[in-house]
Amino acid sequence: MHPIGKCRTDFGFTLIEMIGVLAVIAVLVALLLPRVFEIMAESKANALVAAVATYRTAIVKYYADMGTILPLDAGGTPMAQSSGDTIDVESLGARLTLDKEDPLNTGSNSWANFQGPYLAHFSSDSPPGFGTHVFMPVRDGPSYGTPTTAINRGYDFDNDGNSDLPTNAHVAFLRFRSVAPKDFERIDNMLDSGFGGTALERQLRGRVKYDVSTNRMRIYLMHK
């Protein structure tokens, strides 16, 4: 029994009050979480688009020195390289980051013109933005007018469904693994706005292509 004139004051929340607070928090999280993911996806997309521009600039500088976009083999001969995996030191991505004073520069043949590094960083295990891996192959392009597909090396720049690469041209491109359809659509809207009327056309036309069967995305860089 409390003394006369004294009032008991209890501090803290009741169970019902705690449930109410948790319910409010749950509603706020449900409202804010999608926006958080959207901001993260936008940031990744912007990083990828910026990286693509950086890679193109690096290849242009390399071409200005070497007269080719093909990577050099150990003897200084330009050679097509199909995997584009930087685990291979003769891939274009690996060559672009090579310092001209590196022992891999033998000085033979075209190595005499090499003025790298042309690119600060490129690793197949560290894709910018989306995907689990990124590769930078340089391969022969299909003949001019060849229909573009999700997996061939043709790129359609005038939105007619056919490759616009000159016959016998070499093409450098990026190949990404494990890119979700929504992420492809985000990049496609940024780099290929206005290309294709249907979902399939958007996957095959322009500089960005997508293979829905493998979730692989390809982005054109340069051809010569």
pLDDT tens, 147-199? 999 999 999 999 999 999 998 899 999 999 999 999 999 999 999 999 999 99
| Residue 185 domain flag | yes
More confident residue, 25 or 156: 156
* Confidence band, pLDDT 50/70/90 cuts, at residue 30: confident
| Residue 160 domain flag | yes
Q: Does the pLDDT value for residue 203 go beyond 70?
A: yes
The domain of 94 spans 43-223
CA distance 58 to 76: 19
Mean pLDDT of 18-28: 77
Mean pLDDT of 12-28: 76
Query: What proportions of the chain, in percent to the nearest 5, are helix, strand and coil?
Result: 35, 15, 50
| Residue 1 domain flag | no
Domains of the chain: total: 1
| Residue 200 domain flag | yes
Instruction: List all residues 6 or more positions away from 72 whose beta carbon is below 8 Å from its beta carbon.
Output: 66, 78, 79, 90, 95, 109, 110, 111, 114
| Residue 20 domain flag | no
| Residue 27 domain flag | no
The string of DSSP codes covering 106-167 is ---GGGGG----S-S---TTS-SSSSSEEE--EEEPPPTTPBP-SSSS--BSSSSSB--SPT
Q: Does the pLDDT value for residue 207 go beyond 90?
A: yes
- Return the pLDDT at 192: 96
Encoded tokens for 72? 């050099």
- Return the pLDDT at 23: 76
Nearest to 207 by CA among 217, 195, 219: 219
CA distances in angstroms from 216 to 139, 197, 212, listed in the order given = 17, 21, 7
* Confidence band, pLDDT 50/70/90 cuts, at residue 24: confident
pLDDT tens, 32-84? 666 667 878 899 999 999 999 999 999 999 999 999 999 999 999 999 999 99
- Return the pLDDT at 1: 47
Q: Which residue has the tokens 């496609």?
A: 188
| Residue 6 domain flag | no
Q: Which residue has the tokens 């493998």?
A: 214
* pTM greater than 0.75: yes
CA distance 122 to 134: 9
| Residue 48 domain flag | yes
pLDDT tens, 124-146? 999 999 999 999 999 999 999 99
- Return the pLDDT at 17: 73
Q: Does the pLDDT value for residue 2 go beyond 60?
A: no
